[in-house]
Amino acid sequence: MTKKNAVIKVRDLEVGFGDQTILDHLNLDVREAEILGVVGGSGAGKSVLLRTIIGLVPKRRGSIEVLGVDLAKANEAERRALERRWGVLFQQGALFSSLTVRQNVQFPMRENLEISQNLMDEMSIAKLEMVGLTPQDANKFPSELSGGMTKRAALARALALDPEIVFLDEPTSGLDPISAGDFDELIRTLQQTLEITVFMVTHDLESLYTACDRIAVLADGKVVADGSIANMLESEHPWVKTYFQGKRGSMLADRQMNA
Partner 1 sequence: MGEVLLTHKLEGERLELAAGGSWTATHAGELEALVERVAGEAPEAKDVSIDMAGVREFDTFGAWLLERLTRQWTKSGREAVVVGLPEHDLGLIEEMQGVNLEAVPKPVRQNPLVNSFAAFGRAGVDFGHDLVIFAGMLGAVSVSLARVVLHPRDYRLTSTIHQFDRVAWQAVPIILLITFLIGAIISQQGIFHFRRFGAELYSVDLVAILVLREIGVLIVAIMVAGRSGSSYTAELGAMKMREEIDALRTMGFDPIEVLILPRILVLVVALPVLTFLGSMAALYGGGLVALLYGGISPEIYISRLSDAISLTHFKVGMIKAPFMGLVIGIVACAAGLRVKGSAESLGLQTTNSVVQSIFLVVVLDGLFAIFFASIGM
Ligand X SMILES: Nc1ncnc2c1ncn2[C@@H]1O[C@H](COP(=O)(O)OP(=O)(O)OP(=O)(O)O)[C@@H](O)[C@H]1O
Q: 58: how many CB neighbours lie within 10 A of its CB?
A: 10
The region of 125-133, 165-173, 214-222, 249-257 touching partner 1 under the rule CB under 8 A is: 125-133
Q: Measuring CA to CA, which residue among 48, 89, 54, 51 is closest to residue 71?
A: 54
Whose Cβ is closer to partner 1: residue 52's or residue 103's?
Answer: 103
236 binds partner 1 (CB under 8 A): no
User: Is residue 39 a contact partner of residue 243, using CB atoms and an 8 Å limit?
Assistant: yes
First to last CA, the chain: 23
19 binds ligand X (CB under 6 A): no
The region of 53-61, 67-75, 124-132, 251-259 touching partner 1 under the rule CB under 8 A is: 124-132
Q: How far is CA 100 from CA 105, 135, 151, 156, in A?
A: 9, 12, 14, 13
Backbone phi, then psi, for 62, in 5-degree steps?
100, 180
The rounded distance, in Å, linking the Cα atoms of 151 and 130 is 13
The region of 40-48, 96-104, 121-129, 222-230 touching Mg ion under the rule CB under 5 A is: 40-48
The region of 1-9, 46-54, 71-79, 159-167 touching partner 1 under the rule CB under 8 A is: 159-167
Whose Cβ is closer to Mg ion: residue 50's or residue 109's?
Answer: 50
Three-class SS state of 225: strand
47 binds Mg ion (CB under 5 A): yes
Whose Cβ is closer to partner 1: residue 10's or residue 138's?
Answer: 138
Q: Measuring CA to CA, which residue among 107, 204, 205, 212 is closest to residue 158?
A: 107
Footprint of partner 1 on this chain (CB under 8 A)?
Answer: 96-98, 109, 112-116, 119, 121-123, 125-127, 129-130, 134-136, 138-139, 141-144, 159, 161-162, 189, 192-195
Residues that bind Mg ion (CB under 5 A): 47
Residues in touch with ligand X (CB under 6 A): 17, 22, 40, 42-48
